[in-house]
Structure 1
Amino acid sequence: MQPQITVIGLGSGDEDQLTLGIWKKLQSSTGSLYLRTDQHPMVNMLRNHNIAYESFDNLYVGNDTFEQVYEAIAGELLSKAAAAQAEIVYAVPGHPMVAEMTVQLLKARCPAAGVQLQLLGGESFLDQAFLRLGFDPIEGFQLLNGTDLSVHSLNPQLHIVIGQVYDTFTASDVKLTLMELYPDDFEVVVGHALGVAGEERIHRIPLYELDHLQDYGNLSLVWIPRSDEDRLRNRTFARLHEIVAILRSPEGCPWDREQTHQSLRKNLIEEAYEVLETFDEDDTEHMAEELGDLLLQIMLHAQIEAEEGGFTVLDVISGLNEKLIRRHPHVFGSKNAEDAEEALANWQEIKLEEKRSKGIDPDELPLLSGIPRELPGLMKAYKLQKKAASVGFDWSRLEDVLEIVESELKELKEAIAEFSRKEQQEELGDLLFSVVNLARFLKIEPEEAMSGANRKFFERFGYIERQLRLNGKNFDQTDLQEMESLWQEAKKVL
């Protein structure tokens, strides 16, 4: 006879809910019955009817992780089936196909081992959850693993049942994950041994008390009722996607409907710079707000394309995820990167490979290509010079760079004295370009330096304005000499 493993479910723990077929199988399996664990209410019924069994509870002690335990159980079952050359029965809590990793391992490994696998049903803990907690899964339902819970899996508009919450440590991890989406005082339900007479306990508690309970065990679960509350939906990306689509719809906002990629160009740039301003403030709420405004611009551009049949924001996300994984082989692949420089080298090499896959030969591209046209002037000059320097087109000494700055300043003075506005503008551009080169030699980002100078001017000029106001004056009632005096004061205090 071909070796066979028959997997049966012991149900949720109430012997009255055990199916007749499963009970007959248990009665006929004496000498070949194996339990994943004997920590289950149905085991008392086996003992009362003198049904012999062997459990794998000892493997929980000898292994460090549940994954190792499940691998060991699957391995032993395959060995026992091969040795018996007959059917052995493997009984698991609940239903074999609900939250039972050993069964998944057997499904994967039995064919190669030449062992036939048969699965028989059993009442799942979900049956009792629907019955005892009183919700209909047709309203929308998720079953999640408490030992591997991610906030990215949570959908507040669905009922969420979290299984495998074995102890307070797991409950604490579950609580912290849920708190990333749900308010601390949101009511959740903890159920223990649902449907088992004399053992069932149901607690309705605020989320922050989830790990205060002490009666967690193998038959515990957490239920988070579905909710359409705005305070929950507004914390999801799906709601943002929905709102932007509504704004652009015929029933939405007239201004939003009229926008195009071109009309929103300035908005995108302005929002990006407003985000940059918040980096210099000690105000995280303001930063979060401005990042939201920038994200809105991205969502609007994606929605415009979705309406025109180009792409959707999900395509944007998909492309970005694929690119991040592809360009980080030292994280998601087999390459190594010991430092940031090596990681950047990996990134650059993969970019070149991407160009080649599109039929573009990187060696035939101009060296200075790839720098966006719309970059701010100082930033673009910095990147152009850096690329040119990478092939040796650069000064070797700081003194040489300073001489160029002085030379360009001299030429600007001559242009101011003798030439037209067009030539003056050209010479001014040359001077600014040389100053950017100086910044690069000093390893200073020119945009950051300029930003600091602007901020300093803003604060010092504000000092002048405040002092005039304290003296009962305005700008019409003062002169340059007084403002210069106040400027010198401002330099001492700001």
Structure 2
Amino acid sequence: MQPQITIVGLGSGDEDQLTLGVWKKLQQAGRIYLRTDQHPMVAMLRHNGISFESFDSLYESNDRFEQVYEAIADELLRMAREQQAELVYAVPGHPMVAEMTVQLLRARCPQEGIELVIMGGESFLDQAFLRLGFDPIDGFQLLNGTELSVHALNPRLHTVIGQVYDTYSASDVKLTLMELYPDDQEVVVGHSLGVPGDEKIHRIPLYELDHLQDYGNLSLVWVPRSDEDRLRNRTFGRLHEIVAILRSPEGCPWDREQTHQSLRKNLIEEAYEVLETFDEDDPDHMAEELGDLLLQIMLHSQIEEEEGGFSVWDVIGGLNEKLIRRHPHVFGEMKADDADEALSNWQQIKQEEKRSKGIDPDELPLLSGIPRELPGLMKAYKLQKKAASVGFDWPEMQEVLKVVESELLELKEAIDSLSKKEQQEELGDLLFSVVNLSRFLKIEPEEALSDANRKFFERFGYIERQLRLKGKSFDQTDLQEMESLWQEAKKVL
């Protein structure tokens, strides 16, 4: 006889809900193995003289649930091969709902020539729908409390979270839910739903989730679906929906008129406004400005979606694939012990990507790949850095200083010549040489100029405030007084 494992579901715990087919199989079985004897139906088995063995000892000898489930599957397969007969394995609830051992057996039985038969049973979900009173057709998801992620949460779906065994797992679930839901969001905890005398239902605010002490193997958490704006507005899907509405015929006239070209300046301005917040120590302002920058990305993506080019989901998908592909030391087998090695991996993979598109990196100009629209200082810095990578560089900083002095002298001569074209050219050369000096000093020129701008802003503001204290305006002062105040400002700012 071919070895066979028959898996039956013991139901949610009420003996009146046990299916007739499963009960007959339990009565006829020669040997019955339970994943755990911590289930209300075990009392009925004992009362009817049905013998069984459980795998509860494996929970004590393994550190993680995954190890327990693997060990149970190994043992069942071993016994099935040795007995060459039917072996009945009984699990709580329905075998195909939240039963990892069943999934392991489904994968391994065909490989080992063991026939697998699965008989259903009432799931804890049946009692959840009945006792908690919601219809899953409204939108429903079942999540595992032991590996809950905020990325799986959707407030517009009824969410049932199983595998909440104790206050520790309840605490983990609470912290994850709080990333999306407010602290006072009502949640429902159900214990032994549908089991007479054992059932308990608690309706509590989220922050009290780990205050309960009666968690066990038959506990679950239900978060009712909600269309509240305070929840939907924390989801990416809602952002996509809002931008689509703004661009629709019923939306905003200004948003409808925008194109890639009309939004160019906005994208740059919003990026620089984000940069300003990095020096403010104001997380709320930074979050607001990052949102404004994200809006620009959403608008450009929405324009393309309407034209049939791509959608923001394509943008996200492409980005995720690129991040995984370019970080093999994180998501693959390659190693990177430091940042330099990680960057080297990144560059190597970029070259391979170009080759896969039919582009030979060796035939590209060395200075290609630097965005045309970069701000002047930043672009000059990158151009010089690339040229220096092949040895086109001054050997010492003193040589660079000489170039700066030489370019300043040439600018002075150009000023005397009164040729605007020549003056502009020489001024550009001077700025370019100063950028080169910043590279030797290992100082980002954009950051240096940004600091200088901030310093000027604050010191000039000091002049303005001091004049106001004296009851003066700029029309009522002169350069000498302003210079005196400037020197004061340098001492305090």
TM-score range, shorter chain: over 0.9
Q: Distance in 2 between matches of 1:425 and 1:57?
A: 83
Matched positions, count: 493
Q: Which secondary structure does the structure 2 equivalent of 1:232 belong to? A: helix
Q: 2:62 maps to which residue?
A: 63
Match for 1:433: what amino acid? F
Cα offset for 1:101?
A: 0.1
Task: After superposition, give the CA deviation of every residue in 1:211-244 in whole Å (9 maximum; x if it has no partner).
Answer: 0001000000000000000000000000000000
Equivalent positions of 1:216-295 (< 5 A) are 216-295=215-294
Cα offset for 1:419?
A: 4.2
Q: Distance in 2 between matches of 1:388 and 1:210?
A: 60
Q: Distance in 1 between matches of 2:312 and 2:472?
A: 54
Match for 1:73: what amino acid? I
The list of structure 1 runs, each at least 4 consecutive aligned residues, that deviate by more than 3 angstroms after superposition, is: none
TM-score when normalising by structure 1 = 1.00
Gapped runs of 5+ residues in structure 1? none
Q: Which secondary structure does the structure 1 equivalent of 2:109 belong to? A: helix
Q: 2:81 maps to which residue?
A: 82
Match for 2:19: what amino acid? T
Q: 2:190 maps to which residue?
A: 191
Aligned: 1:73 with 2:72: yes
Cα offset for 1:418?
A: 1.5
Q: Distance in 2 between matches of 1:338 and 1:20?
A: 61
Task: After superposition, give the CA deviation of every residue in 1:87-107 in whole Å (9 maximum; x if it has no partner).
Answer: 010000000000000000000
Match for 2:255: what amino acid? D
Equivalent positions of 1:53-452 (< 5 A) are 53-452=52-451
Q: 1:6 maps to which residue?
A: 6
Match for 2:103: what amino acid? Q
Match for 1:3: what amino acid? P
Q: 2:17 maps to which residue?
A: 17
Q: Distance in 1 between matches of 2:111 and 2:158?
A: 39
Q: Distance in 2 between matches of 1:171 and 1:396?
A: 63
Q: Distance in 2 between matches of 1:51 and 1:405?
A: 95
Match for 2:288: what amino acid? E
Q: Distance in 2 between matches of 1:211 and 1:356?
A: 54
Q: Distance in 2 between matches of 1:449 and 1:40?
A: 68
Q: 2:478 maps to which residue?
A: 479
Q: Distance in 2 between matches of 1:415 and 1:236?
A: 58
Match for 1:194: what amino acid? L
Q: Distance in 2 between matches of 1:116 and 1:470?
A: 92
Q: Distance in 2 between matches of 1:76 and 1:112?
A: 16
Q: Which secondary structure does the structure 1 equivalent of 2:486 belong to? A: helix
Match for 1:347: what amino acid? W
Match for 1:198: what amino acid? G
Match for 1:380: what amino acid? K
Match for 1:384: what amino acid? L
Q: Distance in 1 between matches of 2:34 and 2:112?
A: 21
Task: After superposition, give the CA deviation of every residue in 1:176-205 in whole Å (9 maximum; x if it has no partner).
Answer: 000000000000000000000010010000
Match for 2:170: what amino acid? A
Q: Distance in 1 between matches of 2:24 and 2:291?
A: 61
Q: Distance in 2 between matches of 1:5 and 1:343?
A: 49
Q: Which secondary structure does the structure 1 equivalent of 2:117 belong to? A: strand
Match for 1:324: what amino acid? L
Q: Distance in 2 between matches of 1:231 and 1:112?
A: 50
Q: 1:39 maps to which residue?
A: 38
Cα offset for 1:394?
A: 0.3
Gapped runs of 5+ residues in structure 2? none
Task: After superposition, give the CA deviation of every residue in 1:351-397 in whole Å (9 maximum; x if it has no partner).
Answer: 00000000000000000000000000000000000000000000111
Give me the identity figure in percent.
84
TM-score when normalising by structure 2 = 1.00
Q: Distance in 2 between matches of 1:276 and 1:284?
A: 12
RMSD over equivalenced CA pairs, Å: 0.4
Q: Distance in 2 between matches of 1:6 and 1:202?
A: 34
Q: Which secondary structure does the structure 2 equivalent of 1:347 belong to? A: helix
Q: Distance in 1 between matches of 2:269 and 2:251?
A: 24
Q: Distance in 1 between matches of 2:277 and 2:90?
A: 59
Match for 2:397: what amino acid? L
Match for 1:322: what amino acid? E
Q: Distance in 1 between matches of 2:362 and 2:20?
A: 74
Q: Which secondary structure does the structure 2 equivalent of 1:222 belong to? A: strand
Cα offset for 1:282?
A: 1.2
Q: Distance in 2 between matches of 1:362 and 1:180?
A: 44
